[in-house]
């Protein structure tokens, strides 16, 4: 989600791959339509967010993805890694 302050806060440095923070729009978060699914109820201060590229996260043979030949680098492979992320405390 973007906020009115995004232009000020989401500036990248001169480096090619500088990280970019996203400052959420709190009004948009409160009014998000969960389409009948119950919100997990985490406050922003309690969130641990891990950004990952699906292919890079599961493509290496050491990733532990089952059926590596057909599922590595795919969403099916990424789904297998969700328990690992939960163990790390990602919510």
pLDDT per position as a tens digit, 11-51: 666 666 666 666 667 777 778 788 888 878 888 788 888 88
Q: Express each pLDDT in 52-89 by its tens digit.
A: 888 888 888 888 899 888 999 999 999 999 999 999 98
Give the pLDDT of residue 1: 47
pLDDT at residue number 14: 65
One-letter-per-residue 3-state SS of 18-73: CCCCCCCCHHHHHCCCCCCCCCCCCCHHHCCCCCCCHHHHHCCHHHCCCCHHHHCC
Q: How many CB atoms lie within 10 A of CB 77?
A: 22
What pLDDT does residue 13 have? 64
- Residue 87 parent element (H or E): helix 82-88
| Cα(40)–Cα(22) distance, integer angstroms | 21
**pLDDT given for residue 81 in this prediction:** 92
Residue 25 CB contacts under 8 Å (≥ 6 apart), including other chains: 1, 2, 3, 4
pTM listed for this prediction:
0.58
């Amino acid at each position: 989600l973007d906020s009115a302050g995004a232009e000020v806060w989401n500036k990248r440095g001169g480096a090619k791959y500088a990280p970019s923070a996203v400052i959420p729009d709190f009004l948009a978060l409160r009014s998000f339509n969960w389409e009948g699914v119950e919100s997990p109820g985490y406050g922003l201060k309690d969130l641990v967010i891990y950004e990952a590229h699906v292919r890079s996260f599961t493509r290496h043979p050491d990733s532990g993805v089952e059926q590596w030949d057909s599922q590595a680098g795919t969403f099916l492979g990424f789904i297998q890694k969700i328990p690992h992320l939960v163990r790390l405390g990602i919510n």
